[in-house]
Amino acid sequence: MSGVSNKIKLSTLSNKNGTNGFLNETVTVNSSLITTKTRTQTSINEIDEQKNSEDDEEVELPEYEKIKVVGRGSFGVAILYLKKSNQSNVVLKQINLNHLTKMEKDLALNEVEVFSKLHHPNIICYIGSFVRGNVLLIEMEYANGGTLAQILSQKEPHDFMSERYILTIFEQITSAINYMHSENIMHRDLKTANVFLNLKGTVKIGDFGISKIMNTKIHAQTVLGTPYYFSPEMCEGKDYDNKSDIWALGCILGEMCCLQKAFAATNLSELVAKIMS
């Protein structure tokens, strides 16, 4: 498929709500097929409890004491628990496998595979995973300082962050991504909503549902990620590699400096045009 034809297909995908909320959703582009999975900015560890989800079915976990829902993503819900064995706070991401397509199940299992391989001070710590009934549970560290997206959303238009703070945060993000790339793993969905922090201000990168373990001789082909952070290669439907993560890092840095998205748009067509210009 040529880059031009793929851009036309991208531009025909509209947001049914008529807002730019779609640009914060995860998009999959595989050849001429485009699908979306609605993802709010409430991901793992974000504090924005919502109802009305079929994934909220109670799972009996006598080893844990439920505290509260802390996030919601495409495939499941993240809940903060007290782990009784050591009295620590942990997050359990709960994914009901019965509600998923084969592709979605593969992505859920991929998250466990990738997450379990990562060991870095600036990456959410993977503790373990297990299955109860038809529910996959992924246990992880709780980043109790919220997300970078939340911090930015609370800033006034001209209340810019200091250069020192920006550099401190950005150095930690790049350290984590450099480590992932050294392990031949692409994140593929880097954004401020996936940059978590603890109360000490330490960055913790999370959400590895669409990360990819790369053979060094091949490039990724399926486009997955959040449109605001798409690289030009992804917009054109071309093969892409770790450089797309680097592009997303640049978008995050610009967002921290200017308190707005690096590429502002109200629909996907306009966004793609700006990224490609």
CA within 13 Å, CB half, 149: 21
Question: 3-class DSSP state for residue 241?
Answer: coil
Any binding-site annotation on 93? yes
Catalytically annotated residue among 106, 189, 241, 245: 189
Backbone phi, then psi, for 93, in 5-degree steps? -85, 120
Task: With beta carbons less than 8 A apart as the criterion, state whether 63 and 91 touch.
Answer: no
Residue 67 sits at φ, ψ, to 5 deg, of -105, -60
207 carries an active-site annotation: no
- Provide the annotated binding site for ATP: 93
- Provide the annotated binding site: 93
Active site residues: 189
